[in-house]
């Protein structure tokens, strides 16, 4: 796995995987968005569609002339849908029956140095009654049931994170989902996670073993966004996760590389198109209770 290849089956270690959020989807009238500016530029999603749930994904075209519709209904034994990061236009997940329980759509959002490839694609994998993927899904459902019935204890939450990380490290390879496997990109992305507070474009390039100019070209070609945007979005994402976990805005901002809370707020406003609301406003590190260039 060298050069600029994109193959099935990345080799990201579980320790490289950052669980951004997981839980039950809920949205207005059975419609849920994923991607666009904000964490959607760097986050992958695995969606479990419960057996019998009718669902589809609408992927808009960049020129506004329409788009593709992908069936991801749950079928007899459930379906997994794998969403690559979407840097620009969000896609929509739509259920035909708005009255369906949101628990029929379970998601895991995560950051990995070997993300799914193809921002305009969604990959689906019907599950079998007996199989490794089905067993993983059953384990995660059981942990989530404990979470919702016993409360947010740290051991249950940690168990959910560990199960989710193991699952998203295994499921794409088992389902043959294509992932970015260019070792230079993987090393650069890993360096961002390991040294987020101080990382620069030049340091990411050194980790990748290429020049600062070429790392920019490589990210644009392979990932679809600039290395600078990747670092900025990772910092925004990490800061919001830390805030969700109880840190003050100032503490979280300084920990990920901002001078303080005010510079973090400016970065959010400057990065969003038009200064509008970002789709990652309600980002969570655990299960979501959706009741309501460097």
Question: pLDDT tens, 12-69?
Answer: 567 788 888 888 887 666 788 888 766 778 999 999 998 888 889 999 887 766 678 9
Angle between helices 154-175 and 132-150 (to 10 degrees): 160
Q: How far apart are CA 212 and CA 195, in angstroms?
A: 17
- The owner of tokens 């979470």 is 147
Domains of the chain: 11-179 (2.60.120), 183-274 (1.10.10.60)
How many C-beta atoms surround the C-beta of residue 109 within 10 A? Answer: 26
Q: How far apart are CA 50 and CA 53, in angstroms?
A: 6
Cα distance from N-terminal residue to C-terminal residue, the chain = 28
* Residue 201 banded pLDDT, cuts 50, 70, 90: very high
Q: How far apart are CA 103 and CA 74, in angstroms?
A: 13
The conformation of residue 142, written as its DSSP 8-state character, comes to H
* Residue 271 banded pLDDT, cuts 50, 70, 90: low
Chain-centre distance for alpha carbon 287: 14
Contact of 177 with 8, CB cutoff 8 Å: yes
Q: What is the CA radius of gyration of the chain?
A: 18
> Closest by alpha carbon to 208, among 230, 234, 182, 171?
182
Q: What is the pTM of this model?
A: 0.83
**Sign, CA torsion 147/151/152/156:** negative
| pLDDT, mean of residues 132-154 | 82
CA distances from 223 to 44, 88, 216 (A): 12, 12, 10
- Collapsing DSSP to helix, strand or coil, 54 comes out as coil
The two tokens of residue 122 are 């969604």
- The owner of tokens 């968005």 is 33
Q: How far apart are CA 240 and CA 277, in angstroms?
A: 14
The conformation of residue 236, written as its DSSP 8-state character, comes to H
Express as a percent the part of the chain with pLDDT over 70: 81
Contacts of 184 (CB under 8 A, 6+ apart): 208, 209, 210, 215, 218
Q: How far apart are CA 235 and CA 233, in angstroms?
A: 5
| pLDDT, mean of residues 267-293 | 43
Express as a percent the part of the chain with pLDDT over 90: 30
Least trusted range by pLDDT, from 87-91, 99-103, 122-126, 169-173: 99-103
Residue 165 pLDDT > 80: yes
């Amino acid at each position: 796995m060298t050069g600029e290849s994109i193959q099935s089956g990345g080799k990201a270690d579980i320790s490289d995987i950052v669980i951004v959020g997981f839980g039950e989807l809920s949205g207005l009238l059975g419609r849920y968005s994923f991607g666009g500016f904000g964490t959607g530029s760097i986050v992958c999603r695995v969606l479990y569609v419960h057996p019998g749930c009718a669902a589809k994904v609408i992927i808009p075209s960049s020129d506004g002339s329409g788009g593709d519709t992908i069936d991801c209904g749950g079928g007899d034994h459930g379906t997994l849908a794998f969403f690559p990061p979407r840097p620009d236009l969000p896609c929509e997940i739509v259920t035909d029956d708005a009255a369906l329980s949101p628990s029929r759509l379970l998601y895991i959002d995560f950051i990995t140095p070997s993300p799914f490839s193809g921002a305009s694609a969604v990959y689906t994998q019907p599950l079998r009654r007996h199989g490794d993927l089905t067993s993983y899904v059953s384990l995660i459902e059981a942990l989530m049931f404990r979470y919702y019935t016993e409360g947010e204890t740290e051991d249950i939450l940690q168990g959910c994170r560990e199960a989710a990380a193991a699952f998203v490290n295994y499921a794409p390879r088992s389902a043959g989902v294509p992932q970015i496997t260019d070792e230079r990109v993987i090393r650069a992305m890993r360096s961002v996670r390991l040294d987020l507070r101080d990382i620069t474009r030049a340091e990411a390039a050194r980790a990748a073993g290429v020049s600062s100019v070429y790392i920019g070209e490589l990210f644009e070609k392979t990932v679809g966004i600039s290395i600078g945007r990747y670092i900025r979005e990772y910092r925004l994402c990490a800061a919001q996760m830390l805030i969700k976990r109880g840190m003050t805005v100032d503490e979280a901002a300084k920990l990920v590389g901002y001078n303080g809370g005010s510079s973090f707020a400016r970065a959010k406003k400057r990065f969003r198109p038009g200064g509008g609301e970002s789709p990652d406003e309600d980002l969570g590190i655990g299960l979501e209770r959706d009741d309501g260039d460097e």
